[in-house]
Structure 1
Amino acid sequence: MNLLFLTFVFPLIGFLLLSFSRGRFSENLSALIGVGSIGLSAIVAAYVIWQFNVAPPEGGHYSQVLWQWMSVGDFKPSFTLYLDGLAVTMLGVVVGVGFLIHVFASWYMRGEDGYSRFFSYTNLFIASMLFLILADNLLFVYFGWEGVGLCSYLLIGFYYSNRNNGNAALKAFIVTRIGDVFLAIGLFILFQQLGTLNIQELLVLAPQKFQAGDFWIVLATLMLLGGAVGKSAQLPLQTWLADAMAGPTPVSALIHAATMVTAGVYLIARTHGLFTLAPEVLHLVGIVGGVTLVLAGFAALVQTDIKRILAYSTMSQIGYMFLALGVGAWDGAIFHLMTHAFFKALLFLASGAVIVACHHEQNIFKMGGLWKKLPLAYASFIVGGAALSALPLLTAGFYSKDEILWEAFASGHSGLLYAGLAGAFMTSLYTFRLIFVTFHGEAKTEAHAGHGVTYWLPLSILIVLSTFIGALITPPLAGVLPQSVGHAGGEAKHSLEIASGAIALAGILLAALLYLGKRRFVTAVANSGIGRFLSAWWFAAWGFDWLYDKLFVKPYLLICRVLRKDPLDQTIGLIPQMAKAGHNALSRSETGQLRWYAASMAAGAVLVMGAIVLVAV
């Protein structure tokens, strides 16, 4: 396990080599460095994980001190890597799924301008995410946190010649920065109250200093939640995620499956001991997740862009993870994080295959009839869509999502349970709407299937992992996260499994009835008055962009216009202007005429005498 540091050293080396090449490397060499660096990191990670499972370290965790970061009085944070069951799980997801995405990207990005630049950014992305999950203190976490934010900006705006892509990147950067400010405030509070940012020390000291519900721990966890909702695109900072689809499709897979949006879930799980001391905030985490998953589900129902549908599905599935955290299902949240990484990476990469095959068309209603022309992409969507819909028994998504629903029921949060079941129905409906419209019906465009091992190998591996085989991978979370309240089960759990499975199948059946064939009923509903209203409202994701534009953007621009000429500076500038005006007036009195001077002296004498008289009175 002493090789742990190499997991991020290799991606950093790849980033530096590709960055300083200034695009002079050939595509083959750039792919060799970009993909090879993540491949080496994956090999080291696999060896470290194997060692961790075969010969567990004493105490269930391993620390590797690299160097001291800074020393300010008693504050001496270091670059120390901390490996436990939670970090092992995240390490496998980030590096394993990230490697498959890189392999696919070497095929997808062929012929694009900035080929080596793309891999330099993605290498830094993986390295930053590894900093975040392996850090033993929150300052180190924040370093990686900001790193993935920077990389998301660079990658979302990769096609920077298009102004809209630049705007999408800027939007993601600004919105997530709002969450980052909240997170920084939370770190300030924790350090001021507890004198450390070491995560394990915080988990020990917090129960000693605070009682459940104390003001400072509530405020600190509320700020941590603010950071988490920004990075994981949850209500109310969710508006950036759909626009992030402006980046290349492998970037979407990286952001949605292996990195970034899972960071908020990881942060809350890692600091679970703080949130248990603030039960109101922990409940708020669940409410945020439940509301977000339902709102995102409705938005996905009416989207026409293949990637935006998957983006809203990510928002919804992260909502399930927040819901799980809110009801204390810590292991369920991380389990779903892992399985979601498998099938969401599969769906995004498959969507990339469809987009390339259809000459970069992304509107699903301009596709159709692709199942014969793109058999591997079709199989990927069937398996990935079934896992996303939590099809019973056969898919990885069923086991993880059902665990969350059971924990919500067992903990007595019936409202969150109903939200989860409603989200499950909508997930099946919009997922198979996407599949039926894209791959069935009348063909509307020519399509050519991809070829090569870098095309079919990542998809094939992810297909396998998205089935029940992926669910057999058990995250080693025992002793790291608290035991969930409903871990046992019984007849009630089996009944809930049957109910959730039936709901998922009902969604698929309804999608088949509505979107296979002529779609007359759907068309009639969509053309009705209420249908047009709801479609427009949901298509605009409930109008949050419009609302935020009115509440924040327009007032900010108004303030900018007011301050454009700097009124404060102009006010202060009145003093020299008055002095200058007085100087000009007095200068005009110097005429050189004796009569004018005599009259001026007489007038001055009269004024002085008048003033004396007034004072005397």
Structure 2
Amino acid sequence: MDTNLALVLLLTPLLGFLINVFFGKKLGKTFSGIVGTLSVVVSFAVTLYFFGYITVAKQPIQIILFDWISISNFNLSFGLLLDQLSILWLLFVTGIGSLIHLYSISYMHDDEKMHTFFAYLNLFVFFMITLVIGSNLLVMFIGWEGVGLCSYLLIGFWHKNQEYNDAAKKAFIMNRIGDLGLLIGIFILGMLFSTLDFTTLKTAISGATNLNSYWLGVAAFALFIGACGKSAQIPLYTWLPDAMAGPTPVSALIHAATMVTAGIFMISRLNFLFDLTPEVQNIIAIIGAITALVAATIGLVQNDIKKVLAYSTVSQLGLMFLALGLGAYQVAIFHVVTHAFFKACLFLGSGSVIHALGGEQDMRKMGGLKKAMPITFMTMLVASLAIAGIFPFAGFWSKDEILITAFEHNIVLWVIGSVASIMTAFYMFRLMYLTFFKEFRGTEDQKHHLHESPSLITAPLIILAVLSFIGGLISLPKNSWLNEYLAPIFRKVTEEEHTLGTFEYGLMAIALAGAFIGIGIAYSKYIKQNSVPEEDSKITGISKVLYNKYYVDEAYDVLFVKPINALSGFFRDYIETSISALVFGLAKVTNELSFQGKKLHNGSIGFYLFAFVLGLCAIISYLFLAQ
């Protein structure tokens, strides 16, 4: 029964992919949208069943589908692991994934390749489920690579635009760099413990008395490099803002609840490994804090509504890695969940705005949309309050947990996280004020066609806004359902993170005051002063540096892209040319010899007899001389 249901959970999105690939075009856009959405809804329903079962039984479900690899003392099965961690991830992967599919039915309805889009979405969800429920690192790696492939297909979906193709290739290549680190980590763990199964690894590491701390640290660091690529941490973060080239539902699916959280999932799954490598944990915390700050500073001046949200995602992921590096896995996961709610709402809300404006994404050409789009405005306002960390919205609880944990471990990291959080409040309300307040700054034609989006777009927004408001209830201080639920997964449950005293209330007040300061600065500049960001050519000073993202892309181009292109050009023009000349030269010699040789085949029996006798004499002479 469990095996059959687990296969339904896993394979239904794959079935949706196959139906849309082979029959979607013939059966029509509406049909492809319904099939694609229902396939994920079925997976969500099965996830709810397993959630209820595991919550009551408090026992993981392990399913071995077949024996996969057996080499010497290394044995590995293709299996599934359904426990508290995987089920929690599946809840928002399939739940929010269902809402995004529903949203896409309306958003993508005018696209001629809508069936292909839903096929890619379904395949993405299939690989994400594989990643989450795999019972070992190799099965997880299949899902890991699969979501990388699907992100390439979805980001470059509108492939007639070369910039979108470049963004897709950039995402694919940067993820491959991180994936090399992940593979190295997998190989080292396989070498050390002769297994890649999560349960067996945990037992082996926990029970070992003579662990090789050096190689264990190398493995953990290599795995972290993989997480940096998939979850967009410094220095492998530049692909994610460019991934905005894809349709807005893709942005919501990749950036909110699925692909970018894969790195956090992997580190949380292997918490028993990272707990034994404190040096690597320190690196994770520092990289996370720096990423949060750097991305937040870039988000301050971006004018593309989706770019602001993209850098916001990078920044929030940095905060999650900060918590992971401090060993507060539950806190990081708490923020993953709340972030999935409010960031999906913000991305889908931005898509609603872009849809109403006929594809316009520049906030300088928006404004005054509050009256024309009241549902979009209210839902995005709720989500913005959540991400800014305003009480009692979901982001307030999860973000404060991270900051309190950081303060207890390292005040410098707390300061960095707090500054990044203040900046978050500023740029999110900068987005809200520029988009929805004051007068409309677009064209008359756009103004004439302003309207609220259809119900298939607004319904998911409303659901996500409600979750953004009440999502913090899953982990309230002194009453954390999330901590209790995840307790079997983690070796230590730090109850102090949910215990509030005068000290903790003071830190929460500071964080809340910081959020209001950020909102207040945005209000003063964009409402009171009615300021509108300048044209690109007029941006100067530090704003220009931030607007150009610290010129990191340009630096990568100089350090890596141009040298590689030059090296490939050298090989093409000289090495490859020389080798080709040699090959063609040998070919010409062979051709000439064959041309001359075929003259011997002239059909003369007398000549053939002569050649036969000559050859026979040569053989006899050789045998005689050899004696």
Per the TM superposition, whether the score is higher than 0.5 is: yes
Contact 2:367 / 2:436 at 8 angstroms: preserved in 1?
Answer: yes
Match of 1:269 in 2: 268
Question: Partners in 2 of 1:94 and 1:86 — Cα distance?
Answer: 12
Structural mapping, 1:87-98, within 5 Å: 87-98=86-97
Alpha-carbon displacement from aligned partner over 1:62-91 (angstroms, at most 9, x marks no partner): 212222233333333222111221112101
Is 1:550 matched up with 2:534? Answer: no
Which deviates further from its counterpart, 452-461 or 568-577? 568-577
Question: Partners in 1 of 2:271 and 2:194 — Cα distance?
Answer: 19
- Give the secondary-structure state (helix, strand or coil) at the position aligned to 1:69: strand
Match of 1:612 in 2: none
Is 1:479 matched up with 2:488? Answer: yes
Match of 1:56 in 2: 57
Alpha-carbon displacement from aligned partner over 1:574-604 (angstroms, at most 9, x marks no partner): 79979x99xxxxxxxxxxxxxxxxxxxxxxx
Question: Partners in 2 of 1:485 and 1:200 — Cα distance?
Answer: 25
Alpha-carbon displacement from aligned partner over 1:152-177 (angstroms, at most 9, x marks no partner): 00000000111111110000000001
The Cα of 1:523 is off from its aligned counterpart by: 6.4
Match of 2:380 in 1: 381
Which one of the candidate residues 2, 7, 17 is aligned to 1:15? 17
Alpha-carbon displacement from aligned partner over 1:245-297 (angstroms, at most 9, x marks no partner): 00000000000112100000111111111111111111100111100000000
Question: Partners in 2 of 1:126 and 1:91 — Cα distance?
Answer: 10
Cα distance 1:62–1:562, how it changes in 2: closer, same or farther (>3 A)? same
Contact 1:282 / 1:325 at 8 angstroms: preserved in 2?
Answer: yes
The Cα of 1:517 is off from its aligned counterpart by: 3.8
Amino acid corresponding to residue 420 of structure 2 in structure 1: G
Amino acid corresponding to residue 190 of structure 2 in structure 1: F
Contact 1:407 / 1:484 at 8 angstroms: preserved in 2?
Answer: no
Match of 1:464 in 2: 466
Cα distance 1:577–1:29, how it changes in 2: closer, same or farther (>3 A)? closer
Structural mapping, 1:583-598, within 5 Å: none
Relative to the length of structure 1, the TM-score reads 0.89
The Cα of 1:230 is off from its aligned counterpart by: 0.1
Match of 1:130 in 2: 129
Question: Partners in 2 of 1:546 and 1:352 — Cα distance?
Answer: 29
Alpha-carbon displacement from aligned partner over 1:71-126 (angstroms, at most 9, x marks no partner): 33333322211122111210111011111111111111111121010110011111
- Give the secondary-structure state (helix, strand or coil) at the position aligned to 1:516: helix
Cα distance 1:573–1:469, how it changes in 2: closer, same or farther (>3 A)? closer
Match of 1:361 in 2: 360
Match of 1:494 in 2: 505
Question: Partners in 2 of 1:420 and 1:492 — Cα distance?
Answer: 18
Identical-pair percentage: 41
Cα distance 1:67–1:559, how it changes in 2: closer, same or farther (>3 A)? same
Cα distance 1:71–1:437, how it changes in 2: closer, same or farther (>3 A)? same
Contact 1:368 / 1:443 at 8 angstroms: preserved in 2?
Answer: yes
Match of 2:254 in 1: 255
Structural mapping, 1:26-425, within 5 Å: 26-53=28-55, 55-57=56-58, 60-209=59-208, 214-392=213-391, 394-410=392-408, 412-425=409-422
Match of 1:512 in 2: 523
Relative to the length of structure 2, the TM-score reads 0.87
Question: Partners in 1 of 2:582 and 2:208 — Cα distance?
Answer: 56
Amino acid corresponding to residue 41 of structure 2 in structure 1: G
Cα distance 1:17–1:298, how it changes in 2: closer, same or farther (>3 A)? same
Which deviates further from its counterpart, 217-226 or 62-71? 62-71
Question: Partners in 2 of 1:38 and 1:483 — Cα distance?
Answer: 33
Question: Partners in 1 of 2:425 and 2:556 — Cα distance?
Answer: 30
Question: Partners in 2 of 1:507 and 1:211 — Cα distance?
Answer: 51
Corresponding residue pairs, total: 574
The Cα of 1:564 is off from its aligned counterpart by: 0.3
Question: Partners in 2 of 1:325 and 1:169 — Cα distance?
Answer: 29
Cα distance 1:77–1:375, how it changes in 2: closer, same or farther (>3 A)? same
Question: Partners in 2 of 1:424 and 1:572 — Cα distance?
Answer: 58
Amino acid corresponding to residue 503 of structure 1 in structure 2: G
Cα distance 1:210–1:511, how it changes in 2: closer, same or farther (>3 A)? farther
Which one of the candidate residues 427, 432, 454 is aligned to 1:430? 427
When the two chains are superposed, the root-mean-square deviation of aligned CA atoms in Å is 2.4
- Give the secondary-structure state (helix, strand or coil) at the position aligned to 1:66: strand
- Give the secondary-structure state (helix, strand or coil) at the position aligned to 1:359: coil
Question: Partners in 1 of 2:51 and 2:147 — Cα distance?
Answer: 23
Cα distance 1:284–1:486, how it changes in 2: closer, same or farther (>3 A)? farther
The Cα of 1:522 is off from its aligned counterpart by: 7.4
Contact 1:432 / 1:508 at 8 angstroms: preserved in 2?
Answer: yes
Contact 2:205 / 2:211 at 8 angstroms: preserved in 1?
Answer: no
Contact 1:329 / 1:485 at 8 angstroms: preserved in 2?
Answer: no
Cα distance 1:574–1:162, how it changes in 2: closer, same or farther (>3 A)? closer
Contact 1:25 / 1:116 at 8 angstroms: preserved in 2?
Answer: no
Amino acid corresponding to residue 8 of structure 1 in structure 2: L
User: Structure 2: which 5+ residue stretches go unaligned?
Assistant: 476-480, 590-627
Which one of the candidate residues 569, 573, 578 is aligned to 1:565? 573
Which one of the candidate residues 514, 517, 522 is aligned to 1:503? 514
Cα distance 1:72–1:212, how it changes in 2: closer, same or farther (>3 A)? closer
Amino acid corresponding to residue 496 of structure 2 in structure 1: G
Match of 1:615 in 2: none
Question: Partners in 2 of 1:574 and 1:336 — Cα distance?
Answer: 61
The Cα of 1:337 is off from its aligned counterpart by: 0.2
Question: Partners in 1 of 2:472 and 2:506 — Cα distance?
Answer: 24
The Cα of 1:538 is off from its aligned counterpart by: 1.1
- Give the secondary-structure state (helix, strand or coil) at the position aligned to 2:494: coil
Question: Partners in 1 of 2:585 and 2:50 — Cα distance?
Answer: 73
Contact 2:407 / 2:414 at 8 angstroms: preserved in 1?
Answer: yes
Cα distance 1:205–1:335, how it changes in 2: closer, same or farther (>3 A)? same
Amino acid corresponding to residue 409 of structure 1 in structure 2: F
Contact 2:382 / 2:468 at 8 angstroms: preserved in 1?
Answer: yes
Alpha-carbon displacement from aligned partner over 1:336-361 (angstroms, at most 9, x marks no partner): 00000000000000000000001110
Contact 2:349 / 2:379 at 8 angstroms: preserved in 1?
Answer: yes
Question: Partners in 1 of 2:251 and 2:125 — Cα distance?
Answer: 14
Alpha-carbon displacement from aligned partner over 1:166-204 (angstroms, at most 9, x marks no partner): 110000000001000110011111111111101122122
